[in-house]
Chains A and B, each alone.
Chain A
Amino acid sequence: MLFRCPHCGDRDHTEFSYLREFDPDAADDTQFRHVYLRRNEIGAHREIWQHVYGCRTVFVLERDTVTHAVHG
Protein backbone atom coordinates (compact mmCIF):
# COMPACT_ATOMS: atom_id res chain seq x y z
CA MET A 1 0.00 0.00 0.00
CA LEU A 2 1.12 3.55 -0.74
CA PHE A 3 -0.10 6.32 1.57
CA ARG A 4 -0.10 10.03 0.69
CA CYS A 5 1.41 11.90 3.61
CA PRO A 6 0.19 15.54 3.58
CA HIS A 7 3.81 16.63 4.03
CA CYS A 8 6.00 14.04 2.30
CA GLY A 9 3.74 12.76 -0.49
CA ASP A 10 3.48 9.09 -1.52
CA ARG A 11 5.40 6.77 0.82
CA ASP A 12 5.33 3.01 1.55
CA HIS A 13 2.85 1.98 4.26
CA THR A 14 5.62 0.50 6.42
CA GLU A 15 6.74 4.06 7.28
CA PHE A 16 3.38 4.72 8.94
CA SER A 17 1.73 3.64 12.13
CA TYR A 18 -2.02 3.08 12.42
CA LEU A 19 -3.41 4.98 15.42
CA ARG A 20 -7.16 4.34 15.41
CA GLU A 21 -10.36 4.68 13.41
CA PHE A 22 -11.58 8.22 12.80
CA ASP A 23 -14.32 9.17 15.26
CA PRO A 24 -16.45 12.09 14.05
CA ASP A 25 -18.15 12.38 17.47
CA ALA A 26 -14.95 12.34 19.53
CA ALA A 27 -15.48 15.79 21.03
CA ASP A 28 -19.02 15.48 22.31
CA ASP A 29 -19.46 11.93 23.49
CA THR A 30 -18.81 9.81 26.55
CA GLN A 31 -15.29 8.65 27.10
CA PHE A 32 -16.28 4.97 27.24
CA ARG A 33 -17.68 4.94 23.71
CA HIS A 34 -14.69 6.84 22.30
CA VAL A 35 -12.08 4.70 24.07
CA TYR A 36 -13.60 1.23 23.73
CA LEU A 37 -16.18 0.97 20.95
CA ARG A 38 -15.36 0.74 17.24
CA ARG A 39 -17.59 0.82 14.19
CA ASN A 40 -15.06 -1.55 12.66
CA GLU A 41 -16.58 -1.10 9.22
CA ILE A 42 -16.07 -3.47 6.34
CA GLY A 43 -15.19 -1.56 3.16
CA ALA A 44 -14.65 2.22 3.19
CA HIS A 45 -12.94 3.18 6.46
CA ARG A 46 -11.78 6.58 7.74
CA GLU A 47 -8.80 6.19 10.01
CA ILE A 48 -5.99 8.12 11.67
CA TRP A 49 -2.37 7.34 10.80
CA GLN A 50 0.97 8.84 11.76
CA HIS A 51 4.02 9.07 9.51
CA VAL A 52 6.20 7.74 12.34
CA TYR A 53 9.31 6.98 10.28
CA GLY A 54 9.12 10.31 8.44
CA CYS A 55 7.82 13.77 9.31
CA ARG A 56 5.57 12.43 12.17
CA THR A 57 2.47 14.17 10.73
CA VAL A 58 -0.84 12.78 12.01
CA PHE A 59 -3.54 12.71 9.34
CA VAL A 60 -6.85 11.17 8.36
CA LEU A 61 -6.86 8.59 5.58
CA GLU A 62 -9.67 6.82 3.82
CA ARG A 63 -8.80 3.22 3.05
CA ASP A 64 -10.87 0.22 2.05
CA THR A 65 -10.58 -2.61 4.61
CA VAL A 66 -11.37 -5.27 1.99
CA THR A 67 -9.34 -4.16 -1.05
CA HIS A 68 -6.71 -2.04 0.79
CA ALA A 69 -7.28 0.70 -1.81
CA VAL A 70 -6.19 4.07 -0.38
CA HIS A 71 -8.06 7.30 -1.10
CA GLY A 72 -6.32 10.56 -0.17
Chain B
Amino acid sequence: MKYSILSLARNALSRHERWPQAWRTPAPRPRYDVVIVGGGGHGLATAYYLARRHGIRDVAVLEKGWLGGGNTGRNTTIVRSNYLLEANAHFYELSMKLWEGLSQELNFNVMYSPRGVLNLAHTPAQRDAHQRRGNAMRLNGIDAKWLERDAVERMVPLLNCSDDARFPVIGGLLQPRGGTVRHDAVAWGYARAADSLGVDVIQNCEVMGFQREGGRITGVETSLGRIGAGRIGIAVAGHSGVLAAKAGFALPVETHLLQAMVSEPIKPLIDTVVTYGAGHLYISQSDKGELVLGGDLDFYPSYAQRGNLAVLREAASFAIEMFPCLSRLRLMRHWAGAVDMSMDGSPIIGKTEIPGLYLNGGWCYGGFKATPASGYVFAHTIANDSPHPLCAAFTLERFAQGALLDEKGAGPFPQHH
Protein backbone atom coordinates (compact mmCIF):
# COMPACT_ATOMS: atom_id res chain seq x y z
CA MET B 1 0.00 0.00 0.00
CA LYS B 2 1.26 3.45 -0.92
CA TYR B 3 1.12 5.85 2.02
CA SER B 4 -0.69 9.05 1.03
CA ILE B 5 -3.29 11.50 2.25
CA LEU B 6 -5.91 9.24 0.62
CA SER B 7 -4.75 6.07 2.42
CA LEU B 8 -4.68 8.06 5.65
CA ALA B 9 -8.26 9.26 5.14
CA ARG B 10 -9.45 5.78 4.17
CA ASN B 11 -7.88 4.22 7.25
CA ALA B 12 -9.23 6.96 9.47
CA LEU B 13 -12.72 5.78 8.46
CA SER B 14 -11.88 2.28 9.74
CA ARG B 15 -10.40 3.73 12.94
CA HIS B 16 -6.85 2.86 11.84
CA GLU B 17 -7.51 -0.81 12.63
CA ARG B 18 -6.89 -2.13 9.11
CA TRP B 19 -3.45 -0.83 8.19
CA PRO B 20 -1.56 -3.68 6.52
CA GLN B 21 1.77 -4.83 7.97
CA ALA B 22 4.63 -2.69 6.69
CA TRP B 23 6.72 -5.78 5.86
CA ARG B 24 6.29 -9.56 5.84
CA THR B 25 7.72 -12.00 8.40
CA PRO B 26 9.01 -14.71 6.06
CA ALA B 27 10.69 -18.00 6.99
CA PRO B 28 14.17 -18.15 5.44
CA ARG B 29 14.49 -19.95 2.10
CA PRO B 30 17.36 -22.46 1.61
CA ARG B 31 19.37 -20.13 -0.58
CA TYR B 32 19.61 -16.48 -1.72
CA ASP B 33 21.76 -14.70 -4.30
CA VAL B 34 22.81 -12.23 -1.61
CA VAL B 35 22.56 -12.47 2.17
CA ILE B 36 23.06 -9.30 4.21
CA VAL B 37 24.02 -9.86 7.84
CA GLY B 38 22.62 -7.10 10.04
CA GLY B 39 19.15 -5.54 9.93
CA GLY B 40 20.10 -2.02 10.92
CA GLY B 41 19.89 1.00 8.64
CA HIS B 42 23.03 0.07 6.69
CA GLY B 43 22.01 -3.55 6.02
CA LEU B 44 18.44 -2.66 5.10
CA ALA B 45 19.58 0.21 2.85
CA THR B 46 22.03 -2.15 1.12
CA ALA B 47 19.24 -4.66 0.45
CA TYR B 48 16.97 -1.89 -0.82
CA TYR B 49 19.56 -0.50 -3.27
CA LEU B 50 20.51 -4.02 -4.44
CA ALA B 51 16.87 -4.58 -5.38
CA ARG B 52 16.11 -1.07 -6.60
CA ARG B 53 19.29 -0.08 -8.49
CA HIS B 54 20.91 -3.40 -9.40
CA GLY B 55 17.90 -5.65 -10.03
CA ILE B 56 19.11 -8.21 -7.45
CA ARG B 57 15.92 -9.14 -5.59
CA ASP B 58 16.79 -12.61 -4.33
CA VAL B 59 18.10 -11.06 -1.13
CA ALA B 60 17.70 -11.80 2.59
CA VAL B 61 18.55 -9.50 5.49
CA LEU B 62 19.33 -11.50 8.66
CA GLU B 63 18.94 -9.69 11.98
CA LYS B 64 19.73 -11.36 15.29
CA GLY B 65 17.39 -9.10 17.27
CA TRP B 66 14.80 -6.67 15.95
CA LEU B 67 15.15 -4.17 13.10
CA GLY B 68 17.08 -1.08 14.07
CA GLY B 69 17.60 -2.30 17.64
CA GLY B 70 21.36 -1.76 17.54
CA ASN B 71 23.12 1.48 16.73
CA THR B 72 20.35 2.58 14.33
CA GLY B 73 18.14 3.14 17.36
CA ARG B 74 20.91 4.35 19.69
CA ASN B 75 22.45 7.34 17.91
CA THR B 76 21.66 11.04 18.34
CA THR B 77 20.01 11.25 14.86
CA ILE B 78 22.38 13.91 13.53
CA VAL B 79 23.18 14.09 9.80
CA ARG B 80 25.93 16.24 8.27
CA SER B 81 28.71 16.15 5.67
CA ASN B 82 31.21 18.63 7.18
CA TYR B 83 34.40 16.70 6.43
CA LEU B 84 37.87 17.90 5.52
CA LEU B 85 39.31 15.01 3.49
CA GLU B 86 38.02 14.64 -0.05
CA ALA B 87 37.09 10.96 0.07
CA ASN B 88 35.04 11.51 3.22
CA ALA B 89 33.52 14.78 1.97
CA HIS B 90 32.20 13.34 -1.31
CA PHE B 91 30.93 10.16 0.33
CA TYR B 92 29.04 11.95 3.13
CA GLU B 93 27.73 14.54 0.67
CA LEU B 94 26.15 11.72 -1.35
CA SER B 95 24.49 10.73 1.91
CA MET B 96 23.19 14.28 2.47
CA LYS B 97 21.75 14.33 -1.04
CA LEU B 98 20.05 10.99 -0.48
CA TRP B 99 18.66 12.19 2.90
CA GLU B 100 17.11 15.18 1.17
CA GLY B 101 14.97 12.98 -1.09
CA LEU B 102 14.63 9.88 1.08
CA SER B 103 11.06 10.37 2.35
CA GLN B 104 9.83 10.62 -1.26
CA GLU B 105 12.00 7.75 -2.49
CA LEU B 106 10.86 5.36 0.26
CA ASN B 107 7.27 6.68 0.55
CA PHE B 108 7.96 6.83 4.29
CA ASN B 109 8.41 10.00 6.32
CA VAL B 110 11.94 9.88 7.76
CA MET B 111 11.47 13.43 9.12
CA TYR B 112 14.65 14.91 7.67
CA SER B 113 15.00 18.28 9.37
CA PRO B 114 17.71 20.57 7.93
CA ARG B 115 17.98 22.58 11.13
CA GLY B 116 21.71 23.17 10.76
CA VAL B 117 24.74 21.75 12.54
CA LEU B 118 26.84 24.38 14.32
CA ASN B 119 30.37 23.50 15.56
CA LEU B 120 31.50 26.08 18.12
CA ALA B 121 35.06 27.41 18.28
CA HIS B 122 36.63 28.71 21.49
CA THR B 123 40.26 29.44 20.56
CA PRO B 124 41.99 31.13 17.62
CA ALA B 125 43.55 27.77 16.66
CA GLN B 126 40.13 26.18 16.61
CA ARG B 127 38.78 29.04 14.48
CA ASP B 128 41.59 28.45 11.96
CA ALA B 129 40.86 24.71 11.88
CA HIS B 130 37.11 25.27 11.46
CA GLN B 131 37.60 27.85 8.71
CA ARG B 132 40.02 25.57 6.91
CA ARG B 133 37.48 22.76 7.06
CA GLY B 134 34.72 25.14 5.93
CA ASN B 135 36.81 26.25 2.96
CA ALA B 136 37.56 22.63 2.03
CA MET B 137 33.85 21.85 2.21
CA ARG B 138 32.97 24.76 -0.08
CA LEU B 139 35.66 23.72 -2.56
CA ASN B 140 33.99 20.29 -2.57
CA GLY B 141 30.58 21.85 -3.27
CA ILE B 142 29.24 21.43 0.28
CA ASP B 143 27.48 24.24 2.16
CA ALA B 144 29.47 25.79 5.00
CA LYS B 145 29.30 29.15 6.69
CA TRP B 146 31.53 30.78 9.30
CA LEU B 147 29.59 32.67 11.99
CA GLU B 148 31.22 35.25 14.23
CA ARG B 149 30.18 35.30 17.86
CA ASP B 150 27.34 37.83 17.43
CA ALA B 151 25.83 35.70 14.64
CA VAL B 152 26.11 32.58 16.84
CA GLU B 153 24.38 34.48 19.62
CA ARG B 154 21.51 35.52 17.31
CA MET B 155 21.11 31.96 16.04
CA VAL B 156 21.21 30.26 19.47
CA PRO B 157 20.01 32.90 21.93
CA LEU B 158 20.20 30.71 25.07
CA LEU B 159 23.82 29.70 24.45
CA ASN B 160 26.23 31.28 26.91
CA CYS B 161 28.24 33.55 24.57
CA SER B 162 29.47 35.90 27.31
CA ASP B 163 33.07 36.61 28.23
CA ASP B 164 32.32 35.06 31.63
CA ALA B 165 32.15 31.56 30.15
CA ARG B 166 35.00 29.25 31.14
CA PHE B 167 35.90 28.93 27.43
CA PRO B 168 34.21 31.89 25.68
CA VAL B 169 32.68 31.19 22.27
CA ILE B 170 34.42 33.10 19.48
CA GLY B 171 32.41 31.76 16.55
CA GLY B 172 31.16 28.65 14.85
CA LEU B 173 31.14 26.70 11.62
CA LEU B 174 27.62 26.10 10.36
CA GLN B 175 26.45 23.53 7.84
CA PRO B 176 22.90 24.77 7.15
CA ARG B 177 21.72 21.56 5.39
CA GLY B 178 22.89 19.41 8.30
CA GLY B 179 20.30 18.49 10.88
CA THR B 180 18.42 15.48 12.16
CA VAL B 181 16.49 12.49 10.81
CA ARG B 182 14.13 10.20 12.72
CA HIS B 183 16.40 7.16 13.18
CA ASP B 184 13.77 4.42 13.67
CA ALA B 185 11.91 5.62 10.59
CA VAL B 186 15.05 5.09 8.51
CA ALA B 187 15.18 1.38 9.43
CA TRP B 188 11.43 0.97 8.99
CA GLY B 189 11.32 2.91 5.71
CA TYR B 190 14.15 0.91 4.13
CA ALA B 191 12.71 -2.37 5.46
CA ARG B 192 9.28 -1.65 4.01
CA ALA B 193 10.66 -0.48 0.66
CA ALA B 194 13.04 -3.46 0.38
CA ASP B 195 10.28 -5.89 1.37
CA SER B 196 7.99 -4.50 -1.33
CA LEU B 197 10.73 -5.26 -3.89
CA GLY B 198 10.89 -8.90 -2.77
CA VAL B 199 13.66 -8.79 -0.16
CA ASP B 200 13.13 -11.19 2.79
CA VAL B 201 13.70 -9.34 6.05
CA ILE B 202 14.25 -12.04 8.70
CA GLN B 203 14.42 -11.05 12.38
CA ASN B 204 15.56 -13.16 15.36
CA CYS B 205 18.03 -14.95 13.12
CA GLU B 206 21.60 -14.86 14.42
CA VAL B 207 24.54 -15.75 12.19
CA MET B 208 26.77 -18.26 14.01
CA GLY B 209 29.31 -18.98 11.29
CA PHE B 210 30.20 -18.99 7.61
CA GLN B 211 30.45 -21.86 5.16
CA ARG B 212 33.03 -22.02 2.39
CA GLU B 213 33.80 -24.28 -0.53
CA GLY B 214 37.12 -24.05 -2.31
CA GLY B 215 37.81 -20.77 -0.57
CA ARG B 216 34.61 -19.10 -1.77
CA ILE B 217 31.80 -18.25 0.61
CA THR B 218 28.71 -20.45 0.14
CA GLY B 219 26.44 -19.73 3.05
CA VAL B 220 25.85 -18.97 6.71
CA GLU B 221 24.97 -21.10 9.71
CA THR B 222 22.24 -19.35 11.64
CA SER B 223 20.03 -19.91 14.66
CA LEU B 224 17.33 -20.84 12.09
CA GLY B 225 19.56 -23.32 10.25
CA ARG B 226 21.83 -23.17 7.22
CA ILE B 227 21.14 -20.54 4.56
CA GLY B 228 23.04 -20.72 1.28
CA ALA B 229 24.27 -17.55 -0.37
CA GLY B 230 26.08 -16.55 -3.55
CA ARG B 231 27.46 -13.44 -1.88
CA ILE B 232 27.37 -12.19 1.71
CA GLY B 233 27.58 -8.63 2.99
CA ILE B 234 28.34 -7.92 6.65
CA ALA B 235 26.84 -4.73 8.10
CA VAL B 236 26.83 -5.26 11.86
CA ALA B 237 28.57 -2.14 13.25
CA GLY B 238 30.08 -2.93 16.68
CA HIS B 239 30.07 -6.67 16.03
CA SER B 240 32.13 -6.51 12.79
CA GLY B 241 35.13 -8.00 14.60
CA VAL B 242 33.06 -10.86 16.05
CA LEU B 243 31.81 -11.86 12.59
CA ALA B 244 35.24 -11.40 11.00
CA ALA B 245 36.64 -13.77 13.65
CA LYS B 246 33.99 -16.34 12.66
CA ALA B 247 35.22 -15.97 9.08
CA GLY B 248 38.81 -16.38 10.26
CA PHE B 249 40.41 -12.96 10.01
CA ALA B 250 41.09 -9.95 12.25
CA LEU B 251 40.04 -6.36 11.52
CA PRO B 252 41.71 -3.00 12.17
CA VAL B 253 38.82 -2.25 14.51
CA GLU B 254 38.18 -2.01 18.23
CA THR B 255 34.65 -2.03 19.66
CA HIS B 256 33.95 0.82 22.08
CA LEU B 257 31.06 2.29 24.00
CA LEU B 258 29.36 5.47 22.90
CA GLN B 259 26.72 6.85 25.25
CA ALA B 260 23.80 9.15 24.59
CA MET B 261 21.08 10.52 26.80
CA VAL B 262 17.83 12.47 26.75
CA SER B 263 16.34 14.90 29.22
CA GLU B 264 12.73 15.13 30.27
CA PRO B 265 10.64 16.77 27.50
CA ILE B 266 10.36 20.55 27.55
CA LYS B 267 9.00 23.27 25.28
CA PRO B 268 11.05 24.22 22.17
CA LEU B 269 14.39 25.56 23.37
CA ILE B 270 17.09 24.71 20.81
CA ASP B 271 16.11 24.62 17.12
CA THR B 272 19.46 23.51 15.71
CA VAL B 273 22.28 21.07 16.50
CA VAL B 274 25.14 22.64 18.50
CA THR B 275 28.47 21.01 19.29
CA TYR B 276 30.74 22.23 22.07
CA GLY B 277 34.33 22.89 21.04
CA ALA B 278 36.05 23.04 24.43
CA GLY B 279 34.91 19.52 25.29
CA HIS B 280 33.02 16.87 23.43
CA LEU B 281 29.25 17.36 23.46
CA TYR B 282 26.52 17.65 20.86
CA ILE B 283 23.04 18.75 21.74
CA SER B 284 19.74 19.04 19.88
CA GLN B 285 16.06 18.81 20.73
CA SER B 286 13.82 16.01 19.54
CA ASP B 287 10.31 16.51 18.21
CA LYS B 288 9.03 15.14 21.53
CA GLY B 289 10.85 17.99 23.30
CA GLU B 290 13.61 15.94 24.90
CA LEU B 291 17.10 17.40 24.73
CA VAL B 292 19.33 14.79 23.09
CA LEU B 293 22.95 14.79 24.31
CA GLY B 294 25.92 12.81 23.14
CA GLY B 295 29.54 13.00 24.22
CA ASP B 296 32.76 11.08 24.24
CA LEU B 297 33.48 7.39 24.16
CA ASP B 298 34.00 5.64 27.48
CA PHE B 299 37.56 5.02 26.16
CA TYR B 300 37.78 1.27 26.81
CA PRO B 301 36.64 -1.63 24.61
CA SER B 302 33.15 -2.88 25.38
CA TYR B 303 30.21 -4.71 23.86
CA ALA B 304 27.99 -3.98 26.86
CA GLN B 305 25.69 -1.34 25.28
CA ARG B 306 25.77 0.46 28.63
CA GLY B 307 28.39 2.79 29.99
CA ASN B 308 29.72 4.29 33.19
CA LEU B 309 28.63 7.46 34.93
CA ALA B 310 31.85 9.47 34.49
CA VAL B 311 31.04 10.18 30.83
CA LEU B 312 27.47 11.10 31.68
CA ARG B 313 28.63 13.54 34.34
CA GLU B 314 31.09 15.14 31.92
CA ALA B 315 28.47 15.49 29.18
CA ALA B 316 26.00 17.04 31.61
CA SER B 317 28.61 19.54 32.84
CA PHE B 318 29.42 20.60 29.26
CA ALA B 319 25.71 21.01 28.51
CA ILE B 320 25.28 23.30 31.53
CA GLU B 321 28.40 25.24 30.61
CA MET B 322 26.88 25.86 27.15
CA PHE B 323 23.30 26.40 28.29
CA PRO B 324 23.23 27.47 31.97
CA CYS B 325 19.39 27.38 31.86
CA LEU B 326 19.56 23.55 31.72
CA SER B 327 21.07 23.21 35.19
CA ARG B 328 17.89 21.95 36.86
CA LEU B 329 16.68 19.80 33.99
CA ARG B 330 16.50 16.09 34.76
CA LEU B 331 17.92 13.37 32.55
CA MET B 332 15.32 10.78 31.67
CA ARG B 333 17.22 7.96 29.97
CA HIS B 334 20.75 7.08 28.97
CA TRP B 335 22.08 4.19 26.95
CA ALA B 336 25.09 3.17 24.86
CA GLY B 337 25.87 1.67 21.51
CA ALA B 338 28.74 -0.64 20.62
CA VAL B 339 30.65 1.27 17.93
CA ASP B 340 33.37 -0.21 15.73
CA MET B 341 36.22 2.29 15.99
CA SER B 342 38.60 1.90 13.05
CA MET B 343 42.31 2.63 13.19
CA ASP B 344 42.06 5.85 11.17
CA GLY B 345 38.56 7.00 12.13
CA SER B 346 37.13 6.37 8.67
CA PRO B 347 34.81 3.54 7.59
CA ILE B 348 35.67 0.30 5.82
CA ILE B 349 33.53 -0.68 2.83
CA GLY B 350 34.68 -3.29 0.37
CA LYS B 351 35.85 -6.79 -0.35
CA THR B 352 37.52 -9.07 2.19
CA GLU B 353 40.20 -11.70 1.67
CA ILE B 354 37.41 -14.29 1.19
CA PRO B 355 35.82 -14.27 -2.30
CA GLY B 356 32.12 -13.47 -2.07
CA LEU B 357 32.35 -11.93 1.42
CA TYR B 358 32.03 -8.14 1.70
CA LEU B 359 32.41 -5.88 4.72
CA ASN B 360 30.70 -2.65 5.71
CA GLY B 361 31.94 -1.41 9.10
CA GLY B 362 34.35 0.73 11.06
CA TRP B 363 31.79 3.54 11.37
CA CYS B 364 33.21 4.99 14.59
CA TYR B 365 30.97 7.81 15.88
CA GLY B 366 29.37 8.49 12.53
CA GLY B 367 27.42 5.57 11.11
CA PHE B 368 23.92 6.98 11.22
CA LYS B 369 24.46 9.97 8.93
CA ALA B 370 26.12 7.66 6.39
CA THR B 371 23.21 5.19 6.21
CA PRO B 372 21.84 5.95 2.70
CA ALA B 373 25.24 6.39 1.01
CA SER B 374 26.62 3.37 2.82
CA GLY B 375 23.81 1.18 1.50
CA TYR B 376 24.12 2.75 -1.95
CA VAL B 377 27.85 2.13 -2.43
CA PHE B 378 27.86 -1.22 -0.59
CA ALA B 379 25.10 -2.50 -2.89
CA HIS B 380 27.20 -1.38 -5.87
CA THR B 381 30.28 -3.11 -4.44
CA ILE B 382 28.42 -6.39 -3.91
CA ALA B 383 26.58 -6.26 -7.25
CA ASN B 384 29.73 -5.55 -9.30
CA ASP B 385 32.35 -7.25 -7.11
CA SER B 386 34.28 -3.98 -7.25
CA PRO B 387 34.01 -0.79 -5.21
CA HIS B 388 31.84 2.17 -6.15
CA PRO B 389 34.11 5.18 -6.94
CA LEU B 390 32.86 6.92 -3.78
CA CYS B 391 34.04 4.08 -1.52
CA ALA B 392 37.22 3.14 -3.42
CA ALA B 393 39.28 4.86 -0.70
CA PHE B 394 37.52 2.90 2.10
CA THR B 395 39.08 -0.49 1.38
CA LEU B 396 40.32 -2.84 4.06
CA GLU B 397 43.74 -2.89 2.36
CA ARG B 398 44.39 0.80 2.96
CA PHE B 399 45.85 0.11 6.41
CA ALA B 400 48.56 -2.18 5.03
CA GLN B 401 49.15 0.24 2.13
CA GLY B 402 49.51 3.29 4.35
CA ALA B 403 46.68 5.04 2.46
CA LEU B 404 44.92 6.07 5.67
CA LEU B 405 42.02 8.50 5.89
CA ASP B 406 42.83 10.03 9.25
CA GLU B 407 40.53 13.07 9.45
CA LYS B 408 41.90 14.07 12.88
CA GLY B 409 45.52 13.02 12.41
CA ALA B 410 45.30 10.99 15.60
CA GLY B 411 47.29 7.93 14.51
CA PRO B 412 46.43 4.25 14.87
CA PHE B 413 44.62 4.62 18.21
CA PRO B 414 40.95 3.82 17.66
CA GLN B 415 39.68 5.49 20.83
CA HIS B 416 41.27 8.83 19.81
CA HIS B 417 39.28 9.38 16.58
| Chain B residue nearest to A14 in the complex (CB) | B310
- Interface residues in A35-60 by Cβ distance below 8 A to B read 35-42, 45, 47
Say whether A40 contacts B304, CB under 8 Å. no
Q: Which of A39, A47, A67 is B245 in contact with, Cβ under 8 Å?
A: A39
Say whether B301 contacts A65, CB under 8 Å. yes
Say whether A45 contacts B252, CB under 8 Å. no
Q: Which of B241, B251, B299, B303 is A18 in contact with, Cβ under 8 Å?
A: B299
Determine chain B's interface SS by DSSP, over half rule: mixed
Q: Which of B241, B412, B413 is A40 in contact with, Cβ under 8 Å?
A: B241
How many A-B residue pairs have C-beta atoms within 8 angstroms? Tell me: 68
Check A27 for interface membership: any CB of B closer than 8 A: no
CB distance from B159 to the nearest CB of A (A): 28
Q: Which of A1, A13, A20, A37 is B251 in contact with, Cβ under 8 Å?
A: A37
Say whether A68 contacts B301, CB under 8 Å. no
Q: A35-B412, A36-B343, A42-B242 are in contact. Are A18 and B300 (CB under 8 A)?
A: yes
The digit string for B393-417, where 1 denotes a CB below 8 A from any CB of A, is: 0000001100000000000111100
CB distance from A41 to the nearest CB of B (A): 8
Say whether B299 contacts A17, CB under 8 Å. yes
Q: Which of A37, A42, A47, A68 is B250 in contact with, Cβ under 8 Å?
A: A37
The digit string for B303-333, where 1 denotes a CB below 8 A from any CB of A, is: 1100010100000000000000000000000
Q: A18-B415, A32-B399 are in contact. Are A38 and B252 (CB under 8 A)?
A: yes
CB distance from A45 to the nearest CB of B (A): 6
Check B62 for interface membership: any CB of A closer than 8 A: no
Say whether A38 contacts B300, CB under 8 Å. no
Q: Which of A18, A21, A36, A67 is B399 in contact with, Cβ under 8 Å?
A: A36
Say whether B255 contacts A65, CB under 8 Å. yes
Say whether A38 contacts B412, CB under 8 Å. no
Say whether B310 contacts A37, CB under 8 Å. no
Task: Give every chain B residue within 8 A of A18 (Cβ-Cβ).
Answer: 299-301, 415
Check B211 for interface membership: any CB of A closer than 8 A: no
Say whether A21 contacts B412, CB under 8 Å. no
Say whether A40 contacts B251, CB under 8 Å. yes
Say whether A65 contacts B253, CB under 8 Å. no
CB distance from B317 to the nearest CB of A (A): 14
Task: Give every chain B residue within 8 A of A32 (Cβ-Cβ).
Answer: 399-400
User: A65 vs B253: C-alpha distance in the bound complex, in angstroms?
Assistant: 15
Check B302 for interface membership: any CB of A closer than 8 A: yes
Task: Give every chain A residue within 8 A of B400 (Cβ-Cβ).
Answer: 32, 36
CB distance from A66 to the nearest CB of B (A): 5
Q: Which of A33, A36, A40 is B255 in contact with, Cβ under 8 Å?
A: A40
User: A14 vs B307: C-alpha distance in the bound complex, in angstroms?
Assistant: 12
The digit string for B236-255, where 1 denotes a CB below 8 A from any CB of A, is: 00010110010000111111
Task: Give every chain B residue within 8 A of A17 (Cβ-Cβ).
Answer: 299
Count chain A CB atoms within 10 A of each CB in B239, B302, B343, B400 and give the residue with the most.
B302
Task: Give every chain B residue within 8 A of A63 (Cβ-Cβ).
Answer: 300
The digit string for B274-317, where 1 denotes a CB below 8 A from any CB of A, is: 00000000000000000000000001111110001010000000
Say whether A65 contacts B302, CB under 8 Å. yes
Say whether B254 contacts A68, CB under 8 Å. no
Say whether A37 contacts B252, CB under 8 Å. yes
Say whether B303 contacts A65, CB under 8 Å. yes
Say whether B250 contacts A39, CB under 8 Å. yes
Task: Give every chain B residue within 8 A of A20 (Cβ-Cβ).
Answer: 413
Say whether A66 contacts B303, CB under 8 Å. yes
Say whether A40 contacts B399, CB under 8 Å. no
Count chain B CB atoms within 10 A of each CB in A17, A33, A42, A45 and give the residue with the most.
A42
Task: Give every chain A residue within 8 A of B302 (Cβ-Cβ).
Answer: 65-66, 68
Task: Give every chain A residue within 8 A of B250 (Cβ-Cβ).
Answer: 33, 37-40
| Chain B residue nearest to A49 in the complex (CB) | B300
- 15 A-B pairs with CB atoms under 8 Å apart are A1-B308, A18-B300, A18-B301, A35-B343, A35-B412, A36-B252, A36-B400, A36-B412, A40-B245, A40-B250, A40-B254, A65-B255, A65-B301, A65-B302, A65-B304
Listed in ascending order, the chain B residues whose CB lies under 8 Å from chain A are 239, 241-242, 245, 250-255, 299-304, 308, 310, 343, 399-400, 412-415
Complex A-B, nearest 7 residue pairs according to Cβ-Cβ distance, in ascending order: A40-B241, A18-B300, A37-B250, A36-B252, A36-B399, A14-B310, A42-B303
Given A18-B300, A45-B301: 8 more A-B contacts, CB < 8 Å: A13-B310, A35-B343, A36-B343, A36-B400, A40-B251, A41-B241, A42-B255, A63-B300
